[in-house]
Amino acid sequence: MSLQARIETAITEATGKPARFVGSHSTPGGCINDSRIVTLKDGRRFFIKTHSDAKSYPGIFACEFEALALLTETGAVRVPRPVACGDEFIVLEAYAAGSKGAGWHEQCGRQLAQLHQRTQASRFGFARDNYLGTTQQPNHWSDSWIDFWRDQRLGWQLQLFAEKTGADDPLLQLGDRLLARLGEILGGVDEPPVLLHGDLWAGNAAADEHGEPVIYDPASYYGQREAEFGMMRLFGGFGPRCEAAYQDLWPFQDGFDERISLYRLYHELNHLNLFGRSYYESCIATMKLFV
């Protein structure tokens, strides 16, 4: 059975209506996948992502499906509703893209705060390991945020980097010193885990036909809410209006700017591991803020 036939079958089974493609066109939708809008014979449209080497990333679309379903259930922020998935594809609702409205940044901040407020949990982690880009992201459940962030976030990225370089690399030496200080840096915040998007940068956020926020391509887990803003600040696109609107609903605790810089480091290290040494100096600079 061809890939198209498998996708048509999955849509048929998920929706209870026969699915037959009659047209498609390419569309932006994540830098690691082929993304298309398809039109069915009955006029329905879906957004479909496929990956030519999905077998190298087992479960990548099932992880995304689960995260999108959880985000959708909150009703806090619009995400493309997941319809079906397989080893090589995921099918999502297709929304009409529009220009960001005048209040897009404030809406985004408020909706993120509502998402976090509605998803408070008891442990850090996720039901399965998933992916940050194409980097496997461990999510074993933990009662301790400091342990989770040390072992499954910063420590994990440092371990991946160590596999590419020698143990005497200055970045790894700085990393060891930083890991030893995590309790001091993060220990003053006692907040519940919340459901994070996990990879929220400008390329994973847009506007619908009403100019309101849509977010997609999550790398979700239950974590400390300030961690959401590490990636949001790394490449910009959200800014102070978004953060101010967020804090109108749920203010951060004192010292949040320093902690968000630490959360940004996780994504800097991931880019170092994915894309190479152009990110090396930014990782070093961020570490030197703390050690």
**Residues with Cβ within 8 Å of residue 71, at least 6 apart in sequence:** 77, 79, 115, 195, 197, 215, 218, 220
Known catalytic residue at 151: no
8-state DSSP, 143? S
Rounded to 5 degrees, φ, ψ at 123 are: -140, 160
Distance separating alpha carbons of residues 39 and 41, to the nearest angstrom: 7
Residue 238 has a CB neighbour count (10 Å cut-off) of 22
- What one-character-per-residue DSSP string does 225-283 give? GGGHHHHHHHS-SSHHHHHHHHHHHSPPPTTHHHHHHHHHHHHHHHHHHHH-GGGHHHH
Torsion angle (degrees, nearest 10) of CA 234, 235, 238, 241: 60
Catalytic, out of 42, 168, 176, 199: 199
Residues classed as catalytic: 199
